[in-house]
Chain A
């Protein structure tokens, strides 16, 4: 599965893209797996209220299923406009 990071999530983790093997059923389960990858990951995901997630480029809640998902992205709340 392709994992993308943006803004300070990207900076904290040290990369904007990584590929992972996962059996996670939901975004929340995937986050737990990612946190175990390194201290940087653990720190980046430490405050979930400051993070948003997208599955295949659609904004989702953390309990969203990952069935058939190819790309999951994590980023801070958006600041467009």
Chain B
């Protein structure tokens, strides 16, 4: 399951629904991404732009790649866009497998690819103005692990 949305979502409810859908899997790993405050502590908002159409296509590909590479029963991705406050949930992934090692690896893979292969761009709005978040070289290098 892939979902791209502006609205907030309930991580617990989503994880419970996923758990029900993959009944019998044995292991579920989930990751939740939260809007982090800036070093100066005055983040007013995190604005997330995306490329409608390509976002869904890219997330679908990343999910399928994870299902192919690891022994996963299922995988889900929810990612928000729009204007978020510090501390809000941005996104979550969850993987289900018969074995926990594969579920952990699958979730790690999803996160690495999602960071630099899904068309989202973050901009931090502070008292000093708005600034696009730069991609890190380490994000690109993380893909070499796989």
A residues with a Cβ closer than 8 A to B are 4, 6-8, 54, 57-59, 73, 75-81
Contact = CB atoms under 8 A, between A and B. Distances in A.
A80 B134 CA distance: 11
B116 A80 contact: yes
A54 B119 contact: yes
B132 A78 contact: no
Given A57-B51, A58-B57, A73-B51, A79 B117 contact: no
16 contacts: A4-B51, A6-B51, A7-B123, A54-B51, A54-B119, A57-B57, A59-B58, A59-B117, A75-B119, A77-B116, A78-B118, A78-B121, A79-B120, A79-B121, A80-B91, A81-B120
The range of chain B's interface size is 20 to 34
A78 B53 CA distance: 15
Question: Majority SS of interface residues in chain B?
Answer: mixed
Contacts of B139: 79
A66 B116 CA distance: 23
